[in-house]
Amino acid sequence: MDDSRSRLSRTRTALSGIVGDAAKSSPARLALAVFTAMILAVTGLLSLPIATVEHERTPLVDALFTAVSAVCVTGLTTVDTATHWSTFGLTVIMVAMKVGGLGVLTLASLLGLSVMRHMGLAQKIITASETRSERLSEVGGVLKTIVITSTSFEVLTFLALTPHMIANRYSFGESLFNGAFYAISAFNNAGFVPEASGTAVYVADPWFSIPIALAVFVGSLGFPVILVLVRRWRTPRRWTLHAKLTLATSGLLFGIGFVGILLGEWANPGTLGRHDLGTKVLASAFAAVMPRSGGLSTLDMGAFTPATRLFIDLLMFIGGGSGSTGGGIKVTTFALLVLSIVAEARGDRDVEVFNRRIPQDTIRQAIAVLVVSVAVVMTATLVMLVITGLDLDRTMFEVLSAYGTVGLSTGITPDLPTPAKYVLIACMYMGRIGPMTLGAALALRQRTRVVRLPEERPIVG
């Protein structure tokens, strides 16, 4: 017994040294390493014969695509989730969604806490950039609160869905599994569906649509906002500027999305045209939430009009809240860009909102995230057009869905050639890692110059 304890202590000490050195030298690199390792591990598990219904090995590109989609909480698939994967495979996907939804830096920090029992200063700084903790001393407690809070919301969604499934569709065991799968998929904005019939059968079912939509919306707000709401829900005046801006912009985007989809698809026989008023309202509200990064759909995206799909493209590009399970450029980035345009149009020197002035370096970060994201999306779309020969409408929709880690699809993903699948894999990876890493890097990178050059304004516009 003493020898076992001694070996365990030596192992823990060795691991502490390895993780500690990595965290001190480059916490971001540690996070990316852990994230990539998790994708490779999930790919390996999904490649096993036991992971499929037919007990045959899944092609590497499809296993990797599903692993990246699950860990990056996207939801795009090249194989049918319900009919291709066995219970083991679905369980692997469910765990990948849960762990991936916690976030890259959160995951690495939890690993560091479990091995080292503490966090170094460098790791706290990097983790604070994702969790948006107000003080570095709060980071450890925030990470634990994130796990508890996210699990609590998933449990509530599970409890709302399961009794309805037992009463109407499945056996007790199947309802428990599907309820848990949907709860994790919805809150983490993953978009995976465990049913062969898909979610179209729930188009007129409020007992499914409302809990799922609420879980997706709350998950898309981001942990920084959720923590503020949990801790200060009685005192809105004490909410952070980030929380106020995220809630206001998310609510506005939902309203615009709801009206746009309802009017755009009202008479379309392939979507809303064949339903009654109540179903039209329910389905439009559900569809308006999903571009936040939810990826579930009770309507056929392939049957949407090109105008509505372009409208959804814009919503997917904006994505969810900072520090959330959603992708895109984030709602706060979009809000800051709009506020900057309004301030410029008014001739205001400062960008102000909720009685606060936005620093100029924050505006520059928002512009940088926008430009990089546009460059990635345009490059990926161009490459996809060359590879596939498909039309721009559906190609861009799929690329934006991947980069925004949304998971909505017009149905072309399973039939894409292998090189195109790898392009979407890269989009999902960069969409989950890129803006966050760029934002953290820009926030921590600021040069101090002794000499400033003379100022001269070029002509703009």
- The tokens for 291 are 């571009």
pLDDT of 220 reads 87
pLDDT of 261 reads 95
54-58, 148-152, 348-352, 441-445: which range is least confident on average? Answer: 441-445
Helix, coil or strand: residue 52: strand
pLDDT of 34 reads 74
pLDDT of 25 reads 47
CB-based contacts of 404, cutoff 8 Å, min separation 6: 291, 293, 316, 317, 319, 326, 327, 328, 431
pLDDT band at 143 (very low <50, low <70, confident <90, very high): low
Q: How many CA atoms lie within 13 A of 453 on its CB side?
A: 2
Compute the mean pLDDT over every residue in the chain, rounded to the nearest whole number.
82
pLDDT band at 155 (very low <50, low <70, confident <90, very high): very high
pLDDT higher than 80, residue 22? no
Q: Percent of the chain having pLDDT more than 70? A: 79
Rounded CA-CA distance 288/261 in Å is 7
- Amino acid letter, 438: L
| Averaged pLDDT for residues 240-263 | 93
What would the pLDDT profile of 215-225 be if each residue is shown by its tens digit? 999 988 887 78
pLDDT band at 4 (very low <50, low <70, confident <90, very high): very low
pLDDT of 281 reads 95
Rounded CA-CA distance 86/82 in Å is 8
DSSP secondary structure of 336-360: HHHHHHHHHHHT-SSEEETTEEEPH
Specify the pTM: 0.84
pLDDT higher than 90, residue 125? no
Q: Percent of the chain having pLDDT more than 90? A: 46
CB-based contacts of 406, cutoff 8 Å, min separation 6: 74, 75, 189, 191, 290, 291, 293, 294, 295, 316, 319, 327, 328, 400
pLDDT higher than 70, residue 26? no
| Averaged pLDDT for residues 280-285 | 95
pLDDT of 154 reads 92
- The tokens for 457 are 């304004």
Q: How many CA atoms lie within 13 A of 209 on its CB side?
A: 22
413: how many CB neighbours lie within 10 A of its CB?
20
CB-based contacts of 277, cutoff 8 Å, min separation 6: none
CA-closest candidate to residue 120, choices 133, 109, 134? 109
pLDDT band at 126 (very low <50, low <70, confident <90, very high): very low
Which range of 129-133, 234-238, 435-439 scores highest in mean pLDDT? It is 234-238
| Averaged pLDDT for residues 177-202 | 90
pLDDT higher than 60, residue 114? no
Q: How many CA atoms lie within 13 A of 416 on its CB side?
A: 32
96-110, 330-344, 433-447: which range is least confident on average? Answer: 433-447
129-143, 375-389, 444-458: which range is least confident on average? Answer: 129-143
What would the pLDDT profile of 321-378 be if each residue is shown by its tens digit? 877 777 788 899 999 999 999 998 888 888 888 888 888 888 888 898 899 899 999 9
